[in-house]
């Protein structure tokens, strides 16, 4: 999917549901809507500023789920920079009916970028608190990697892990609870629990 983002593909990225989805009773309905089958929406929003296509990584990971397209579909948006993520996530929840959003950004390494990252995080925080909906902040700082390959790999791991988390927050909260206190890290090796 990387590099190909045709406009008519935007709202219903899964080909199998592309022509059949309709908005029904305020929820976005898949092929089986008339038989009472509704489809949830998971939002993915990323930036042009990032030098890795983080949104595509999130989409790809979510597409691995067998119930993608049936149980949930993906709504994708791209904004200029990470300060635009918060309001975009809020719109995707309020207007587009997303039940959870994955917000991907890549703060630069300059001193000014640190303050900006804090403001971007505050926007994502406010989007959550004003909608009572989870928005997973997935930031990969350029300063975390020493070259392009490492940056790309770090993005793939962290964004992928958070896409899994979004799925579990929606459909498998018990999997999160079973890992409480396990020292889990997104995008790196787990720290693990304290030695007994």
Q: Are 28 and 85 in contact (CB under 8 A)?
A: no
Q: Decide whether 34 or 176 has the Cβ nearer to its own copies.
A: 176
- Residue 140 binds its own copies, judged by CB under 8 A: no
Strands (E) across the chain are located at 22-24, 27-29, 40-47, 72-79, 100-105, 135-139
Contact string 153-182 vs its own copies (x = CB under 8 A): ---------x--x---x---xx-xxxxxxx
Find the binder of its own copies among 86, 140, 158, 160 (CB under 8 A).
86
Q: Does 74 bind its own copies (CB under 8 A)?
A: no
Determine, following the binding rule CB under 8 A, whether residue 61 of this chain makes contact with its own copies: no
If binding is defined by CB under 8 A, does position 98 make contact with its own copies?
no
By CB under 8 A, tell whether 133 contacts its own copies. yes
| Window 1-40: contact mask with its own copies (x via CB under 8 A) | --x-xxx--x------------------------------
Q: Is there a contact between 135 and 100 (Cβ–Cβ < 8 Å)? A: yes
Choose the stretch contacting its own copies; rule: CB under 8 A; options: 14-22, 24-32, 33-41, 116-124.
116-124
Q: Report the alpha-carbon distance of residue 137 to residue 160 in Å, rounded.
A: 13
Side-chain-side CA neighbours of residue 83 (13 Å): 8
Complete DSSP assignment for 78-111: EESSGGGHHHHHHHHHHTT--SEEEEEE---SSH
């Amino acid at each position: 999917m990387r590099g190909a983002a045709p406009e008519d593909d935007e709202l219903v990225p899964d080909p199998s549901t592309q022509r059949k989805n309709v908005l029904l009773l305020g929820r976005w309905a898949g092929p089986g809507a008339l038989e009472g089958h509704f489809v949830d929406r998971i939002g993915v929003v990323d930036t042009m500023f990032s030098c890795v296509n983080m949104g595509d990584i999130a989409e790809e990971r979510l597409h691995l789920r067998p119930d993608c397209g049936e149980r949930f579909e993906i709504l994708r948006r791209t904004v200029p920079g990470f300060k635009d993520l918060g309001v975009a996530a809020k719109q995707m929840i309020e207007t587009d009916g997303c039940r959870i959003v994955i917000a991907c950004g890549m703060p630069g390494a300059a001193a000014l970028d640190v303050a900006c990252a804090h403001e971007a995080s505050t926007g994502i925080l406010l989007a959550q608190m004003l909608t009572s909906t989870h928005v997973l902040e997935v930031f990969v700082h350029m300063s975390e990697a020493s070259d392009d390959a490492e940056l790309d790999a770090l993005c793939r791991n962290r964004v992928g892990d958070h896409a899994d988390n979004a799925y579990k927050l929606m459909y498998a909260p018990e999997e999160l609870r079973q890992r409480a206190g396990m020292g889990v890290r997104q995008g790196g090796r787990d720290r693990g629990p304290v030695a007994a």
